[in-house]
Amino acid sequence: MSNGVIAIVGIVSAVIWIAVSQESVKPPKELNWRKMLTLLFAGSLSTSIIIISLFQSLPL
C-alpha cells in the first residue's frame, strides 16, 4: 500500500479509537453496546491493516 493510504487509515483509526474511549466512559445504563462493538471491530480492523502493512515494509 502507498504511504498516503496508510496515513489515511492511521488517521481514521485514531478517530475510531477516540470514539471508543469516549463511548466507554459513559455510565452502563447509557452505553450503546451495538455502537461499542461496531467501533471496537472497526478499530481492530484498521489497526490490523496498519500493522500488516508495516510488517510487509520491513526489509528482511
Q: How much is the average pLDDT of 8-17? A: 95
Q: Is the pLDDT of residue 47 over 80?
A: yes
| Percent helix, percent strand, percent coil in the chain, to nearest 5 | 75, 0, 25
Q: Which residue reads 475510531 in cell numbers?
A: 16
Name every residue whose Cβ is closer than 8 Å to that of residue 32 and which is 6 or more positions away in sequence.
23
Could you tell me how many residues make up the chain? 60
pTM score, two decimals?
0.85
Position 35 pLDDT exceeds 90: yes
Is residue 21 within 8 A of residue 37, CB to CB? The reply is: no
Mean pLDDT for the chain? 92
DSSP one-letter code for 58? S
Taking the CA atoms of the chain, what radius of gyration do you get in angstroms?
14
